[in-house]
């Protein structure tokens, strides 16, 4: 795995170099800068590195988004990370309650895959009929509250993701949620 990480770092460096060279105003400078920096890479990538090992490194890195590594988020025993943005009032919902929420769901890279805000109306559902990360996270809130949840894949859609949908296998998710009411 160390070799795969080194390859990933090298590929990342190459991408940065080409990006910086592309920003240069001189065509010759772009080519010279990129070539010069690439020539300074000490070792070529080992032949035994596989695409699977590289994919694993990139997947691990993607999971380390700003939310995932932000120490201002509280962490539950299950691994759910959350931050209360606005405290609510009243009773927190139980898993058997129906709740009405406004929310936006994103992948860790910021790609939005669902949003009640975009549809222009909140959503109501039984709390025990959604992914475990939502069931757990919403029970930490009170009506009128707003929070951000960083939901690890095992509390989301797990190894299957949403087949044919926007959420891949073992994909962590980020939700901004407003708990409007508990019914």
What pLDDT, on the 0 to 100 scale, is given for residue 15?
40
Comparing 1-5, 76-80, 119-123, 135-139, the range with the smallest average pLDDT is 1-5
- Its pTM stands at 0.64
3-state secondary structure of 136: helix
**What digits encode the pLDDT tens for the residues 32-65?**
444 444 444 444 444 444 444 444 444 444 444 5
**121 vs 47: which has the higher pLDDT:** 121
pLDDT for res 8: 43
**Tokens of residue 167, six digits:** 């959420």
Closest CA relative to residue 125, chosen from 166, 180, 163, 173: 180
- pLDDT for 54 equals 41
Residues 6+ apart with CB under 8 A from 37: 13, 17
158 conformational bin, left if phi > 0, alpha if psi -120 to 50, beta if neither: left
What pLDDT is stored for residue 71 in this prediction?
Answer: 79
Distance CA 71, CA 29 (A): 41
Which sequence positions are flagged as catalytic?
103, 113-114, 131, 157, 175
How far, in Å, CA of 64 to CA of 68, rounded? Answer: 5
Q: How far apart are CA 137 and CA 24, in angstroms?
A: 47
Count the alpha carbons within 13 Å of 50 in the hemisphere toward its beta carbon.
4
Q: Among residues 116, 90, 89, 114, which one has the least CA distance to residue 101?
A: 116
Residue entry with tokens 């931050």: 83
């Amino acid at each position: 795995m160390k070799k795969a990480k080194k390859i990933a770092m090298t590929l990342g460096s190459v991408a940065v170099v080409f990006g910086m060279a592309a920003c240069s105003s001189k065509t010759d400078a772009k080519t010279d800068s990129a070539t010069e920096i690439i020539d300074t890479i000490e070792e070529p990538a080992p032949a035994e590195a596989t695409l699977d090992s590289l994919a694993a490194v990139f997947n691990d890195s993607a999971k380390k988004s700003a939310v995932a590594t932000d120490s201002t988020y509280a962490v539950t025993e299950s691994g759910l990370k959350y931050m209360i943005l606005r405290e609510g009032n009243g009773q927190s919902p139980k898993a058997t309650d129906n709740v009405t929420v406004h929310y936006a769901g994103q992948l860790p890279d910021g790609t939005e895959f669902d949003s009640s805000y975009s549809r222009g109306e909140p959503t109501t559902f039984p709390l025990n009929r959604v992914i475990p990360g939502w069931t757990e996270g919403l029970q930490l809130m009170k009506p009128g509250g707003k929070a951000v949840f960083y939901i690890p894949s095992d509390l989301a859609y797990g190894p299957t993701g949403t087949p044919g949908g926007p959420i891949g296998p073992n994909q962590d998710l980020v939700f901004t949620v407003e708990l409007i009411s508990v019914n």
